[in-house]
A and B are shown apart, each in its own frame.
Chain A
Amino acid sequence: MGILKFGGRLLSNMVHKPVTRNYPAEPREYTDRTRGHVEFDPGRCILCNICGKKCPTGSIHMDKAARKLTVDRMLCIQCGYCVDVCPKKCLSMAADYIPPDTEKIIDTYQVPEKPKEEA
């Protein structure tokens, strides 16, 4: 009987299409909530550095004098905590992952002089 139960499954495999995806020819679909990478909108940032202090891996660095914020993409673990704590909601989680690379990616953002008013 065991043979029949499992054998049925194995036979149905022959007519079904594969469960796996033919990646990268068939790209991966992300969900709305996928935590892929952190996105930063410098326009609203008030340089409070809460994100830098709270980040558990220390991937966000802030240079207040130069008004620069850097995100070390290779250190970030996509936990989303910086997004939760940012008081101005200028950080957000985008769904797609950072593509593999041969060197370490550190993104630098220049925060403009006058923060634009919140909508």
Chain B
Amino acid sequence: MGKRTIVPFGPQHPALPEPVHLDLELEDETVVRAVPSIGYVHRGLEKLTESYDYESMTYVMERVCGICSFGHGWGYTGAVEGLMGVNIPDRAEYLRIVFHELSRVHSHLLWLGLLADGLGFDSLFMHCWRIREKVLDVFEAVTGGRVILSYCKVGGVKKDLTPEMVQRIVSMCDDIEEDMRRTGYVFMKDSSVRNRLCGTGVLSKEDAVELCCVGPVARGSGVDNDVRSASKWYREVGFEPVLYDEGDCWSRCMVRVDEVVQSLNLVRTALRNLPDGDIAVPVKGPAPVGDFAFRVEQPRGEAFYYVQGNGTKNLGRARVRTPTNINIPAMVRTLQGCNLQDVSMLVITIDPCISCTER
């Protein structure tokens, strides 16, 4: 047995897009134990519910995280709508699906780029981000923002799509699908990618269930807990969860590659069947006393939104439970016994979003 050493990993590390710290206890090159610590980007956004009314809070909640900003806006407004007993128009539900799935496309492409960068495959990284740019351009044309969309509001969505915009989104989806055929193929078949990812950081189905994993981490281990399966609206646009059974880094990557293509199909179906009518209903008055919880399948997994009304315009409490928070124990489990060189890959494949986690 070698001597034990502790290697600090992060919060500033080239492999990490966001600040998380790991204390890696090593025996020679093998990680025996990993102790994560978070808390570097806490901003106290939930506390702001005390100072802002529930509508202004939508814009704060969207800024919990830049990548899944639309999903946070949706989760929060969905919870407030539930609390106030508001039913939003069908067209708004469909538009929310469209923008949420487009957010998933750009989030997964961003992640695939980061993975390629972590692998040292820089041309692949740049191509993933080149494709992602098309989604951001459409976001800007439709909602006015490239990253923070400010598109959801309590009662529906803020801006409608014109027929030209629908056409533009559909042709962008076709375009990205064509690009993904080539780029996804590299992740699926390229030997250098496969050598690095296949068999690395295996998380068994039993472990994934025991550790309550969510999102692509769970689905890469064959656990179907996609929240979208439970949604009536998603069933209408033909949603089927993407599952891989291997549980290694490669299957977590392939879940995301396949989800990009699947999300493009969902967007096209939703736009084809887009109902006519209003895009929002007016919501007025104070939030009633009571509470409500709402779930959204974010690109990184299930996010849970809880709001509590106290009879005034300001909510008593708003709380978000984010997917990265739930997946950290799984990351720690896969880190045990891995090689030091694999640590960055294992951290990247849970797609950590520390800004969400700490809010």
- A10 nearest in chain B by CB position: B123
Residue in A2, A5, A77 with the greatest tally of chain B CB atoms within 10 Å: A2
Q: Could you say which residues of chain B place their CB within 8 Å of the CB of A6? A: 123-124, 182-183, 185-186, 190
Give 1 or 0 for each of B159-201: 1 = CB within 8 Å of chain A CB: 1000000000000000000000011011001110000000000
Give 1 or 0 for each of A54-78: 1 = CB within 8 Å of chain B CB: 1110000000000000000000011
Bound-complex Cα distance A81 to B150 (A): 9
Interface residues on B, range: 20 to 34
Within 8 A of B (CB), among A1-50: 1-3, 5-6, 8-10, 19, 31-35
Which stretch in B29-37, B80-88, B99-107, B136-144 binds the other chain?
Answer: B136-144
The reply to whether B59 and A79 form a contact with Cβ atoms under 8 Å apart is: yes
Bound-complex Cα distance A84 to B157 (A): 12
In the assembled complex, the CB of A35 is this many whole angstroms from the nearest CB of chain B, namely: 4
In the assembled complex, the CB of A58 is this many whole angstroms from the nearest CB of chain B, namely: 9
A contacts with B, residue count (CB < 8 A): 24
Bound-complex Cα distance A2 to B183 (A): 9
The reply to whether B127 and A33 form a contact with Cβ atoms under 8 Å apart is: no
Within 8 A of A (CB), among B319-343: none
In the assembled complex, the CB of B116 is this many whole angstroms from the nearest CB of chain A, namely: 11
In the assembled complex, the CB of B177 is this many whole angstroms from the nearest CB of chain A, namely: 15
The reply to whether A80 and B144 form a contact with Cβ atoms under 8 Å apart is: yes
B46 within 8 A of A: no
The reply to whether B144 and A9 form a contact with Cβ atoms under 8 Å apart is: no
Main SS of the interface on chain A? loop
Q: Could you say which residues of chain B place their CB within 8 Å of the CB of A84? A: 153, 158
Within 8 Å by CB of A34, from B56, B130, B144, B185, lies: B144
Bound-complex Cα distance A80 to B153 (A): 11
The reply to whether B144 and A33 form a contact with Cβ atoms under 8 Å apart is: yes
In the assembled complex, the CB of A116 is this many whole angstroms from the nearest CB of chain B, namely: 28
Contact status of A54 and B130, CB under 8 A, knowing A10-B123, A84-B158:
no
Return 19 A-B CB contacts under 8 Å, by A number: A5-B182, A6-B124, A6-B182, A6-B185, A9-B127, A9-B183, A19-B130, A31-B140, A31-B144, A33-B142, A34-B140, A34-B145, A35-B144, A35-B145, A35-B150, A54-B53, A80-B144, A81-B59, A93-B144
Seed contacts A5-B186, A56-B52, A56-B59; 15 additional CB < 8 Å A-B pairs:
A2-B189, A2-B191, A3-B190, A6-B186, A9-B183, A10-B123, A31-B144, A33-B141, A34-B140, A34-B144, A35-B150, A54-B53, A77-B148, A79-B59, A81-B55
- Give the interface of B toward A (CB within 8 A): 52-53, 55-57, 59-60, 63, 123-124, 127, 130, 133, 140-145, 148, 150, 153, 158-159, 182-183, 185-186, 189-191
- Give the interface of A toward B (CB within 8 A): 1-3, 5-6, 8-10, 19, 31-35, 54-56, 77-81, 84, 93
